[in-house]
Amino acid sequence: MEIEKLTDSFGARIHGLDLSIPLNREEHAELHKAWLDYQVLVIPKQKLTQEEQIKFARTWGEFPKRERYDKRAEKGTADKSIMLVSNIRENGKPIGSLPDGEMMFHTDGAYDEHPYNYTMLYALELPKTGGNTLFANMYAAYETLSDEMKLKLSDCTAHHGYYSGTVQRGQPVGHLNGEFSHPVFIEHNETGRTALFISRLLTLCINELLKEESEEILKFLFDHSEKPEFIYEHRWSLGDLVMWDNRCLNHARTDFSTSERRLLRRNVIQGKRPNRGHVRVA
């Protein structure tokens, strides 16, 4: 197993692993440490069946219950633990979720009381251009805030909500998946580090502020967290398995042609309700 850094601050490409073969205890521990150290891992050149992907994903924790599975396009074609992220249509209907277009920055499951720890995405079909995944380092976004902003928001909570299928802020599509409030700054329950926990797509307001100030500060936080120096853009290759930590990363998707097929298999791992992060100022 070899680790190649993707940026100066986060992200790594992992060489020398065949995920169709179960990892031994030492390999799993080494991969886990790399995940905590680099937040997003790219493992290229994989050939995974659905069952092999599920077996690998299950080693990282419990799957969510997927209570809305009966309403999902994947019902009958993919395991209950799998979301098919795809624009492919059969008989005019998408075979998966989030089919078309650019998707704003978000973190998976923030609208739930217990957001997801991890997401794993495996590339099966890709367009020639576009459909890239952007990752934003929310550790760095928190750490580079002014002391004044950290103190102002240290006891604040943000309210998150999401409608299934929505990719643009303020344009609800589908069924309401849920809504919940979490601290603006959360503590990563394994590393102990503090991360900014807001996103352009999902965060609706800061509860403790009046509407006008909430909107002004959220706009600042969205723009701040999406600065180029905090971003890694992943340009997919077939067989890539990309795995990331939702407790300290936001992710987004660039646009791509609706005339080209895109198909990826997603697993998520259930997490716990985050604690408030420790705010330290100079």
Query: Does residue 69 register a pLDDT over 80?
Result: no
Give the separation between CA 35 and CA 41, rounded to whole angstroms: 6
pTM of structure: 0.96
Give the separation between CA 146 and CA 158, rounded to whole angstroms: 19
Query: Does residue 221 register a pLDDT over 90?
Result: yes
Helix boundaries (H) for 39-156: 50-58, 138-143, 147-153
Domains and CATH numbers, the chain: 2-276 (3.60.130.10)
Query: Does residue 72 register a pLDDT over 80?
Result: no
Backbone φ and ψ of 141, nearest 5°: -60, -40
Indicate the range of 75-79, 181-185, 187-191, 264-268 predicted with least confidence: 75-79
Tokens of 259: 């005339």
- Mean pLDDT taken over the chain: 96
> 170 — alpha (psi -120 to 50), left (phi > 0) or beta?
left
- Answer yes or no: are the C-beta atoms of 56 and 48 closer than 8 Å: yes
- Answer yes or no: are the C-beta atoms of 228 and 132 closer than 8 Å: no
2-38: per-residue pLDDT in tens?
A: 999 999 999 999 999 999 999 999 999 999 999 999 9
User: Tell me, what's the pLDDT at 174?
Assistant: 86
Pairing of strands 116-125, 263-270: antiparallel
- Answer yes or no: are the C-beta atoms of 17 and 238 closer than 8 Å: no
